[in-house]
Amino acid sequence: MLNFGGEGEIADAINVNNFTQVLRSGTFPKPGDTVLRADFRQVPLPDASVDVIVGNRLPWSATDEWAGAICREAFRLLKAGGVVRLFASTGGATSCLDWLRQAGFVEVETRERYAQGVKP
């Protein structure tokens, strides 16, 4: 599992973080956290290499171009049948739905405060 913007809150996830907006300073990374310092739009992992991507700490107030690039990168990284779940505290999860569809995801929907899509 990849955690875009992750700060160690999901056990056993690979936290992809560029450290420009770490919210839990002083507590992250902890010993044992797996951290990949990278831009969410260009994660240095192979195509179709993960089953689940969660985005818990993404700044959705960014531009449409930025958000679209994150969704396209999630699509590239996921295996067929893989799931992406993007949390959106500002604007609600519905703000992510069009970007997920444009990236190629199906079964796009909101669940609680997440926008979710499946890679066909």
Q: Where are the alpha helices (DSSP H) in the chain?
A: 64-77, 97-103
Question: What is the structure's pLDDT at 27?
Answer: 63
* Cβ atoms < 10 Å from Cβ of 86: 27
When pLDDT is averaged across residues 96-105 and rounded to a whole number, the result is: 93
87 close to 94: Cβ distance less than 8 angstroms = no
pLDDT tens-digit map of 22-61: 555 566 667 777 888 888 889 999 999 999 999 876 766 5
Question: What is the structure's pLDDT at 53?
Answer: 96
Higher pLDDT, 21 or 71: 71
Residue 62, pLDDT > 80, answer no
For the chain, which domains are there?
2-118 (3.40.50.150)
Nearest CA to 33 among 3, 64, 77, 68?
3
- The token pair that represents 30 in the structure block: 């902890």
